[in-house]
Amino acid sequence: MRKEAVLITGANGEIGHGLINYLGGQGNFGVIALDVQPLDDSLKPFVEKFIQGDILDGMLLGRLVAEYEIRTIYHLASILSTKAEYNPETAHRVNVEGTLNLLRLAVEQSQWQGRAVKFLYPSSIAAYGLPDLATKNSAGKIKEHNWLEPITMYGCNKLYCEHLGRYYARHYRQLAADKSSTTVDFRCIRFPGLISAITVPTGGTSDYGPEMLHHAAQGLPYDCFVRPDTRLPFMVMPDAIKSLLLLEAAPSENLKHLTYNVTSFSPTAMEFHDIVQKAFPGAAIHFKPHAARQGIVDSWPADVDDSAAREDWGWQPDYDQVRSFDEYLLPAIRERYSSGN
């Protein structure tokens, strides 16, 4: 019999770290981790099998079908918004074709198993696109179906993959005579900027928050690439992991939507700066806005409405702004850098 497993792509990334740490300790199923880079040593004890490879490699994914009974896929691998702008076509291949490959894997798995395979997909506030700053400032908390005109390749990819997920979940091969009822159980979360005490993001545009904090904690100067008045929604990593696990566990009959906003707090870059400066009084943080990256952040919402997630699957963050810094980020980051890791 094939072994029951959960597949996590982008295992080395920020969400991957948090998720593998949690799921790897559960023990009733194996964690298969996939990444293009070698797996971080800290994650190795939590993983049943690590596969170093590319999500664009169909052969590699095919072998997984034969070996494991995958009940849930967390498809985290992606090229983030800033990096994607430097090579949009490569980003499209990884973000869209990669997701298509994983969705196909989910279909094959569900056909073998005779039951739906859950597909957890992290989308982003980058799926939104507000036309100008005045609109952003007056739009209030944005609901899932509004302002969906992203200006980045990454945002376009995320929004399109949400549609692909809906297609695979509800309309896959709709004209086939043998159209089967077992399918992909697609569940998607649009994340705000995420902040972890353990890892630093690479290639994103909400990175000024986490970068400011991690630089200050290491005594390094930091030039913030957005204006002080820039506002974005953020959330700490334990809440991001909590939201994925809650959505995964939610009974399907409660889920009225395929895509849900989640959020916690929405500071300006100045508020972020003030908290970090107070915690690390020697920090040398300066504002040196980068016009193009500022333009991207100005197109993203200042806040999102996550009431659908609250109603359908009981979402609520454990960490508001004060708790995020006082009880998670600051203690964990101080510990991390004082121990020289």
- Alpha helix stretches (DSSP H) within the chain: 14-23, 58-67, 81-86, 88-92, 98-113, 133-138, 153-170, 208-217, 237-249, 269-279, 291-299, 307-313, 321-323, 330-338
| 272 lies in the site for ligand SER, by CB under 6 A | no
| 193 lies in the site for ligand SER, by CB under 6 A | yes
What is the closest distance, in whole angstroms, from the C-beta atom of residue 338 to ligand SER in the complex? 27
296 φ, ψ (degrees, to nearest 5): -65, -50
Contact residue for ligand SER among 68, 119, 154, 168 (CB under 6 A): 154
The catalytic position among 68, 74, 121, 154 is 154
In the bound state, the residue with its beta carbon closest to ligand SER is: 204
| 243 lies in the site for ligand SER, by CB under 6 A | no
**Span near ligand SER by CB under 6 A; candidates 130-138, 140-148, 200-208, 273-281:** 200-208
The Cα 132–Cα 44 span in angstroms is 45
What is the closest distance, in whole angstroms, from the C-beta atom of residue 328 to ligand SER in the complex? 18
The Cα 324–Cα 335 span in angstroms is 15
| 150 lies in the site for ligand SER, by CB under 6 A | no
What is the closest distance, in whole angstroms, from the C-beta atom of residue 86 to ligand SER in the complex? 13
Of the two residues 200 and 332, which places its CB atom closer to ligand SER in the complex? 200
Of the two residues 46 and 319, which places its CB atom closer to ligand SER in the complex? 319
Of the two residues 72 and 78, which places its CB atom closer to ligand SER in the complex? 78
| 124 lies in the site for ligand SER, by CB under 6 A | yes
Of the two residues 68 and 154, which places its CB atom closer to ligand SER in the complex? 154
What is the closest distance, in whole angstroms, from the C-beta atom of residue 81 to ligand SER in the complex? 3
Q: Which amino acid is at 105?
A: L
Q: Which amino acid is at 200?
A: V
Give 71-137 as a DSSP string.
Answer: EEEEE-----HHHHHHSHHHHHIIIIIHHHHHHHHHHHHHHHHTSPEEEEEEEEGGG---SSHHHHH
The Cα 149–Cα 212 span in angstroms is 29
| 183 lies in the site for ligand SER, by CB under 6 A | no
Question: 252-262: buried (b, 16+ CB within 10 Å) or exposed (e) per residue?
Answer: eeebeebbbbb
Of the two residues 158 and 242, which places its CB atom closer to ligand SER in the complex? 158
120 φ, ψ (degrees, to nearest 5): -95, 125
| 226 lies in the site for ligand SER, by CB under 6 A | no
Of the two residues 31 and 159, which places its CB atom closer to ligand SER in the complex? 159
**Span near ligand SER by CB under 6 A; candidates 22-30, 135-143, 198-206, 333-341:** 198-206
What is the closest distance, in whole angstroms, from the C-beta atom of residue 274 to ligand SER in the complex? 22
The yes-or-no answer on residue 328 being catalytic is no
Contact residue for ligand SER among 10, 16, 204, 267 (CB under 6 A): 204
- The β-bridge relationship of strands 234-236 and 49-52 is unpaired
Cα dihedral: 273, 276, 279, 283 (round 10): -80
Q: What angle do CA 269, 296, 204 make, to 5 degrees?
A: 75
**Span near ligand SER by CB under 6 A; candidates 94-102, 139-147, 181-189, 203-211:** 203-211
| Residues in CB range of 244: below 8 A, 6 or more apart | 15, 19, 74, 120, 122, 189
The Cα 244–Cα 120 span in angstroms is 7
Contact residue for ligand SER among 12, 99, 183, 205 (CB under 6 A): 205
Which residues in the 77-116 window bind ligand SER by CB under 6 A? 80-81
Binding site for ligand SER (CB under 6 A): 80-81, 124, 126, 154, 191, 193, 204-207
Q: Which residues are catalytic?
A: 154
